[in-house]
Amino acid sequence: MKTYVSDAVIKRLPRYRRFLKSLKEQGTDKVSSKQLGEIMDVTASQIRQDLNHFGGFGQQGYGYGVEELGDRLGEILGVDKTYNVAFIGCGRLGQALMNFLIANEPNYKITALCDIRPELQGREIAGVKIDNVEDFNKKLIGGGIDIVILTIPADQVEAVRDLIEKSDVKGVWNFSMTEMVIKGKKVMNMHLSDSLQALTYYINHPD
């Protein structure tokens, strides 16, 4: 149990988990690092090295239990627990992500919604009412929200920074076109266009 695990390793864990889930659905109940590596196109060494940051989950001469390893990865990531999430911005991207959470990540509970557009306020999505800014601010400061998902235009971000900083929100999943840094909060800046631009580079540079 190392105290610090590098970002490269952490970012690989969800992918391991995905493939394990898929193996489980196929009815596979054990897998060796070699087999998993072939499926995922990574080395068996890397898989064993990555997993052993968190302790030994396998059995020599046997391999790893598919379900058990998947569950353990879930625990390590913390995705076995539930989280209350609030959306700031309920436009198409916000709504698409809400659908996504409901269908794929039910442990992230949609708890509060906010939009500055009066025509959206009062409407309900997934059983949750869209608040105006004032009501929403009270809820956020009131506590109990773990994660804020930001799906607003870049020019509206500055207005919510202070609010989030004052709240006890732990993390922000930021889809606005900004690089947000908030003291004491984890922020995941998504910048979708960066990946489109990287794709564009590779389109123009086939190997």
x-or-dash pattern for DNA, window 24-63, by CB under 7 A?
Answer: --------xxx-------xxxxx-xx-xx---xxxxxxxx
Site map 161..180 versus its own copies, x via CB under 8 A: ---------xx-x---x-x-
Phi/psi class of residue 89: alpha, beta or left (left: φ > 0; alpha: ψ in -120 to 50)? Answer: left
Report the run of H or E that residue 158 belongs to, with start and end: helix 157-166
| Binding of residue 114 to its own copies (CB under 8 A) | no
For residue 53 the two structure tokens come to 């940051």
Q: What is the DSSP letter of 132?
A: P
1 binds DNA (CB under 7 A): no
What CA–CA distance (Å, rounded) separates 120 from 127?
14
**DSSP helix/strand/coil, 148:** strand
Residue 168: other Cβ atoms inside 10 A:
14
Q: Which does 63 bind (CB under 5 to 8 A by kind): DNA, its own copies, none?
A: DNA
- Beta-bridged to residue 187, according to DSSP, are 172
Q: How far is the CB of 175 from DNA (least distance, A)?
A: 24
> Taking the complex as a whole, how short is the minimal distance between the CB of residue 150 and DNA, in angstroms?
27
> Parallel, antiparallel, or unpaired: how do β-strands 124-125 and 128-131 relate?
antiparallel
**Is residue 64 at the binding interface for DNA, with CB under 7 A as the rule?**
yes
Q: Which residues bind its own copies (CB under 8 A)?
A: 10-11, 13-15, 17-18, 76-79, 81, 83, 91-93, 95-97, 99-100, 104-105, 108, 146-147, 170-171, 173, 177, 179, 186, 188, 190-204, 206
